[in-house]
Amino acid sequence: MANTLELLRVSASSPPAPGVRKTAVVTKLVDTSTCIGCKACEVACQEWNDLPPETTVQSGTYQTLPDLAPGFWNLIKFNEHEDEHGRLHWLMRKDQCMHCAEPGCLTACPAPGAIVQYTNGIVDFQQDQCIGCGYCMTGCPFNVPKLNPQTKRVYKCTLCVDRTSVGLQPACVKACPTGCLQFGTKDTMLEMANRRVERLKADGFAQAAVYDPPGVGGTGVVTVLAYGDRPELYGLPRNPTIPLAVKLWKGPLKWLGNAAMFAGLLAAAVHFVRFGRKADVTWK
Amino acid sequence: MSNSRERRIVRYEFGERLVHSFTALSYVYLLLTGLAFWTPAMYWIAIVLGGGYLSRLLHPWAGLFFVGLLGWMYVMWRADMRITPEDRTWRKAIGHYIRNEDAQVPPVWRFNDGQKVLFWAMTAASLGLLLSGLVLWYVTLVPWNLRWVRYGAVLIHAISALVTIAGFIIHVYMGVFVVPGGLHAIIHGDVSEEWAKAHHLLWYRNLRKQP
């Protein structure tokens, strides 16, 4: 699909990415307050992407799988929360790739072109270029990419790049019966999200908020949370960023290391020119 | 030349040379594929060596092979690599050694302090590479709430590798370019008496004392 979309970022590539056309950034809106946990989005994702069913485990919840899987890119997480009045709240959250504006997976990836970000904001894995090192799994602050043990390559939600690049909605959005999932430009989605937050506040959820974490430059999947002050209730990190270790590793450490290696070779050459070989005692 | 030929001294036994050469070969493979993963500017090395996927597949196995040989090397050489009082004297005169003023360099045993420091630095860094490498290899087995282990592993793997690269540059430069006979000795095993006296006098005297 890449030929209809322009590249904004390419993993492990020093030259600037070639994309110049300005396209609107697309976003999926997840309104957790209207999710009924029907899992139509999960089925639609499996069907559209031709992913075989995963064997599940009974863990005492309605959640389909304990976690995302190499062949399962969209999982509704069922979290139970008891509020201060002793009332139980069933907090459902759509776990999937968040399509970060500043993707940690892409920063960590060592294989040129294995992870790309299009100018419309979609972060996409190119499995044919993937070498299976798993560094993206260390770079991602949301624990999303999953390694397939057979192909030894990593998979995740593509934001239905094959549909969205030709003007269709992602399969999950198409299947959602409550309108909890919406798809459009980031501006439109944020506008809708903020309207929902106002409604929730009027309904007594004073802490309702939009989850669009600035630590990763905002995300291509924004989530309306009734308990916006406590994203961890939904299993979301409070302030996700590219891990500091990954930033150091791909930033200062890389440049210092390269400089040191170069300096080492240079020092050897200078020593050879200045002092040369040791006295040649007979050794043959 | 011909009379010195009759008085050759065995500096490295066959087993020592064999372990050293396999360690060297596996290290070079690890270095090249590791550099390819380290920076996109050197990713072409992985392509030359059969592609990124293959390099990623073989790198950890080569690493196990390397560490195994290093373990053998440790058992073989640790006694000779122990730092002695003579090494501390040598260390103070390292400036003379670097400037090739060898008349002012104190005598040493089988290995000089530089060789010993290289040995211990390589051993320590390789232990770091092994432990962090296992984490990177089996990253899926590291639970998400222990993800700091993953973060530590990428940093330790890179820093330890840089330590070995520093050692490797100095080691190869010294052995190939600076010390005449050094390369011959590690490949063929033998040195002349003159060489032994000039570079490892205490070791030579000790050899001569033995019947």
pTM: 0.93
Q: Sheet harboring A221-225: ordered strands across? A: A181-185, A26-31, A221-225, A209-211
> Span A157-182, mean pLDDT?
96
- For residues B108 and B62, state if they share a domain: no
In chain B, residues with a C-beta closer than 8 Å to the C-beta of A126 are: none
For residue A16, the model assigns a pLDDT of 85
For residue A168, the model assigns a pLDDT of 95
Query: Does some domain include residue B2?
Result: no
Architecture of domain A2-242: 2-Layer Sandwich (3.30)
- What is the interface size between A and B, counted as CB pairs within 8 Å? 137
Nearest to A278 among B56, B102, B191 (CB): B102
**Bridge-based pairing state of the strands B8-10 and A115-118:** unpaired
CA distance A167 to A74: 21
* Count of domains for chain B: 2
Mean pLDDT, chain B, whole residue set: 93
DSSP letter string, A150-162? TTTEEE----SHH
> Span A146-152, mean pLDDT?
96
CA distances from A227 to A89, A164, A177, A232, B68 (A): 11, 30, 23, 9, 53
For residue A284, the model assigns a pLDDT of 62
Q: Which two tokens stand for residue A164?
A: 């969205």
Give strand ranges (E) for chain A.
7-10, 26-31, 75-82, 88-95, 115-118, 123-125, 146-148, 153-155, 181-185, 209-211, 221-225
pLDDT band at A5 (very low <50, low <70, confident <90, very high): confident
Integer-rounded Cα radius of gyration of chain B: 20
- For residues B21 and B99, state if they share a domain: no
- For residues B130 and B61, state if they share a domain: no
- For residues B40 and B128, state if they share a domain: no
Summarised one tens digit per residue, pLDDT across range B99-132 is 999 889 999 999 999 999 999 999 999 999 999 9
Residue-range definition of the domain harbouring residue B179: 83-211
Choose the final residue of a domain: B77, B93, B113: B77
Interface check A260 vs B, CB under 8 A: yes
Residue A247 has pLDDT above 80, yes or no: yes
Query: Does some domain include residue B118?
Result: yes
Hey, which residues 169-188 in chain B have their CB within 8 Å of chain A?
169-170, 173, 177-181, 184-185
Choose the final residue of a domain: B77, B107, B133: B77
Query: Does some domain include residue B6?
Result: no
- For residues B141 and B161, state if they share a domain: yes
For residue B207, the model assigns a pLDDT of 87
Lowest-confidence region among A71-75, A127-131, B46-50, B104-108? B104-108
- For residues B91 and B154, state if they share a domain: yes
- For residues B187 and B92, state if they share a domain: yes
**Bridge-based pairing state of the strands A75-82 and A88-95:** antiparallel
Interface check B152 vs A, CB under 8 A: yes
Nearest to A277 among B144, B180, B185 (CB): B180
Residue A84 has pLDDT above 90, yes or no: no
Residue A93 has pLDDT above 90, yes or no: yes
Burial class (CB in 10 A: 0-12, 13-18, 19+), A273: exposed
In what helix (H) or strand (E) does residue B23 lie, and over which residues does it extend? helix B14-38
Which residue's structure tokens are 């198409």? A174
Give strand ranges (E) for A145-281.
146-148, 153-155, 181-185, 209-211, 221-225
For residue A20, the model assigns a pLDDT of 84
Q: Which two tokens stand for residue A124?
A: 């996409």
Residue A1 has pLDDT above 50, yes or no: no
For residue B6, the model assigns a pLDDT of 57
Residue A242 has pLDDT above 70, yes or no: yes
CA distance A197 to A31: 9
Query: Does some domain include residue B5?
Result: no
Stated length of chain B = 211
Query: Does some domain include residue B198?
Result: yes
Interface check B166 vs A, CB under 8 A: yes
Summarised one tens digit per residue, pLDDT across range B4-46 is 455 788 999 999 999 999 999 999 999 999 999 999 999 999 9
The pLDDT > 70 percentage for chain A reads 98
Domain of residue B178, CATH code = 1.20.950.20
Which residue's structure tokens are 């809106």? A29
Mutate to test the interface with A, among B148, B168, B173 (most CBs of A within 10 A): B173
φ, ψ for residue A208 (rounded to 5)? -55, 145
Q: Which two tokens stand for residue A121?
A: 């904001």
Nearest to B194 among A111, A276, A281 (CB): A281
Instruction: Give the domain ranges of chain A.
Output: 2-242
Residue B211 has pLDDT above 90, yes or no: no
Find the closest chain A residue to B11 by CA distance.
Answer: A283
- For residues B15 and B114, state if they share a domain: no
Residue B169 has pLDDT above 70, yes or no: yes
